[in-house]
Structure 1
Amino acid sequence: MRQASHRLTIATGGRGLTEVTDPVERWLAGQGVGEGLLTVFCRHTSASLIVQENADPDVQRDLEAFFARLAPESPGLYRHDAEGPDDMPAHIRAALTQTQLSIPVESGRMVLGTWQGLYLFEHRRRPQRREVALHLLGE
Structure 2
Amino acid sequence: MRQTTTMLTIATPGAGLHEITDRIVRWIGETGIDEGLLTVFCRHTSASLLIQENAAPAARRDLERYFARIAPESDRYEHDDEGPDDMPAHLRSALTTVQLSIPVIRGEMALGTWQGIYLFEHRRAPHRRTLALHLIGE
State the TM-score bracket (shorter-chain normalisation).
over 0.9
The aligned counterpart of 2:115 is: 116
Counterpart Cα distance in 2 of 1:89 and 1:95: 10
Equivalent position SS for 2:31 = coil
User: Which stretches in structure 2 are left out of the alignment for 5+ residues?
Assistant: none
- CA deviation profile, 1:14-41 (whole Å, cap 9, x unmatched): 0101100000000000111111000000
Counterpart Cα distance in 1 of 2:33 and 2:84: 44
Identical pairs, percent = 68
CA-based RMSD of the aligned residues comes to: 0.5
Q: Which amino acid aligns with 1:22?
A: D
4+ residue runs over 2 A deviation: none
The aligned counterpart of 1:86 is: 85
The TM-score normalised by the length of structure 2 is: 0.99
Count of residues in correspondence between the two structures? 138
Q: CA deviation at 1:124?
A: 0.2
Q: CA deviation at 1:13?
A: 1.2
Q: Which amino acid aligns with 1:116?
A: Q
User: Which stretches in structure 1 are left out of the alignment for 5+ residues?
Assistant: none
- CA deviation profile, 1:41-74 (whole Å, cap 9, x unmatched): 0000000000000000001110010001100001
- CA deviation profile, 1:65-114 (whole Å, cap 9, x unmatched): 00011000011x11000000000000000000010000000001110000
The aligned counterpart of 1:55 is: 55
Matched, 1:132 2:131: yes
The TM-score normalised by the length of structure 1 is: 0.98
Equivalent position SS for 2:40 = strand
Counterpart Cα distance in 1 of 2:80 and 2:73: 10
